[in-house]
A and B are shown apart, each in its own frame.
Chain A
Amino acid sequence: MTYQPSQLRLQREAARRQASRRSSTIALLSTLLFGIAVVLVITGAKGFQLVRQSFFSWHYAVHSFPSVLSGIWLNLRVMIIAEIFVLIFGLLLALARTSKSPVLYPVKLFATFYTDIFRGLPLLLVLLLVGFGIPGLQISWIPNSAVILGTVSLILTYSAYVAEVIRAGIEAVNPAQRMAARALGLTQTQTQRRVVLPQALRKVTPPLLNDLVSLQKDSGLISVLGAIDAIRAAGIETAQSFNFTPYLVAGAIFVALTIPLTRFTDWLTRKQDRARQQQGRW
């Protein structure tokens, strides 16, 4: 016999459809009203024409696009190099902070101190200290390129954030997992590497990717040291024309660069949630 939904069930589904139609209509109307209000407030402002010319000029957008684009190429390289080092250092710091070995105690102490300092220091301050302070020391073998020192600053700051995320993951692994591994005869190190870390990293992948998205956009801050990245290139264009559109162009490119990573993060989070709900593999 083929499946025949009961009368009650059909009525219920109809009622549910009607309710959902009603709420979509309300959502549509309120969004429309809100949008119209925002547009009216902005276009009605006294300085609207001026702002439109100086921030949204198509002419300057087209004109500045090539140089901003060549600037973003530098941001891209900085992002990728920084991301690689941040993941490595973050992992090492997290391992040091969670280590119980007495030999590593000084390392643990250092790691704790390090994360405390660099999570608290504003990135801009780290950039200035590293970017201008280190060249000021005049040590011949240390490079004083703005790009390198800027990248180092990003790595210093973000390693601290990423270390904390990974540490949270390590601590979230059920202690019984560690006990089971030790009961099988695995050493402390084997347990950490084969049992604890793989589970910890899976747990924290979404927040970890979130930090990387944040790192990507903050790579624009190296412009304060004079590196010609997208922000700096836009600044140079603006200085020549007194039109701010190039900054918006740079902003749009940054958003375009981070969207794939944010979408990927969302997708991964949803996938993990689903897997957890089904108690299936993850």
Chain B
Amino acid sequence: MSTLDLKNIRKSYGSDLVISDLNLSLEKHQVKVLIGASGSGKSTLLRCINLLEEIDDGQIFLDGKDISEIGVDADDVRASIGSVFQAFNLFPHLTVLENITLAPRLVHGISRAEAEQDATELLARFGLSEKANQYPDLLSGGQQQRVAILRAIICKPKLLLLDEVTSALDPVLIAEVLSLIAELKREGMTMLIATHEMGFARKVADEVLFLKGGQIIESGAPSQILEKPQSLELKSFLSALEEAGRL
């Protein structure tokens, strides 16, 4: 049974079809990376999976359970999926430790002491111990994003969705964040990642999916997708990246 199974997903905003008849499945411990130009539907797809957006048609199965059915408790589903966004979205009025322990305490019913212990261990493992009691605005972008990732994984989600998590960072900070994600992969985290970092896609992806116009045009191993593109769309996307010096 796959961790995630998308069957014929369709999503439109008004007359604008953003995702059309998309199929995707993700096995446990697998990491798939979505690439494609802005507006190709990557972010929308991720937001449909954690039910922040409603799909118009199709089915989404999480561990075999249809979460796109009417009447499914969306809060329950989101509690078992971790999400990280481009803009970090840490809560500015809470300290790093409070940011990380909020969901365990409120959503998963873990005691404050236990949640804080878990969070402290996690922060220590990723070299963020001395930031525990600081407010997010005092942290660098890379630190903020790493805290946001820890916030998303502390309750051991079945699936982690990363939406262009490095797009707002400079190269040095990008490296910090990417090494954290690579570490999560080693630990077996199941992930679906939207990114513009091709080098990173090459490093962590079990499979790379190229999206355009809300459809998967081409998919395969990173080396195959990035070096032996078949479709015209992918070729032109990669050559645009090359021209911009981003390949």
Residues of chain A whose beta carbon lies under 8 Å from any beta carbon of chain B: 176-177, 179-187, 190, 194-195, 198-199, 202, 279-282
Contacts and interface: CB of A to CB of B under 8 A. Distances in A.
Given A185-B78, A186-B106, A190-B106, A180 B138 contact: no
Contact of A186 (B92, B107, B135, B138): B107
B87 to A, nearest CB: 6
Nearest to A193: B106
Given A184-B151, A194-B102, A177 B138 contact: no
Given A183-B52, A280-B138, A176 B87 contact: yes
B137 A184 contact: no
Contacts of B75: 182, 185-187
A186 B80 CA distance: 12
Given A176-B85, A182-B78, A281-B135, A194 B106 contact: yes
22 contacts: A176-B85, A176-B89, A177-B89, A180-B83, A180-B85, A180-B90, A184-B79, A184-B102, A184-B151, A184-B152, A185-B75, A185-B79, A185-B80, A186-B75, A186-B107, A187-B75, A199-B93, A279-B138, A280-B138, A281-B137, A282-B135, A282-B137
Interface in B163-195: none
A129 B182 CA distance: 70
B30 interface: no
Contact of B78 (A184, A195, A198, A199): A184
Nearest to B91: A195
B47 to A, nearest CB: 9
Nearest to B74: A182
B91 A180 contact: yes
B91 to A, nearest CB: 6
Interface string B131-151: 000110110000000000001
Contacts of B52: 179, 182-183
A282 B102 contact: no
Interface of B: 50, 52, 75-76, 78-81, 83, 85, 87, 89-93, 102-103, 106-108, 134-135, 137-138, 151-152
B107 A185 contact: yes
Given A184-B78, A184-B107, A281 B138 contact: yes
Nearest to A184: B103
Contact of B93 (A180, A186, A187, A202): A202
A174 to B, nearest CB: 8
Contacts of A176: 85, 87, 89
B137 A183 contact: no
Nearest to A188: B75
Given A184-B102, A199-B91, 4 more contacts: A181-B91, A182-B78, A185-B75, A281-B138
A253 to B, nearest CB: 38
A232 B226 CA distance: 85
A183 B106 CA distance: 13
A183 B91 contact: no
Nearest to B108: A185
A186 B106 CA distance: 7
B76 A185 contact: yes
A180 B78 contact: no
A183 B157 CA distance: 12
Given A184-B102, A186-B107, A199 B92 contact: yes
A272 B91 CA distance: 17
Contact of B91 (A177, A279, A281, A282): A177
A185 to B, nearest CB: 3
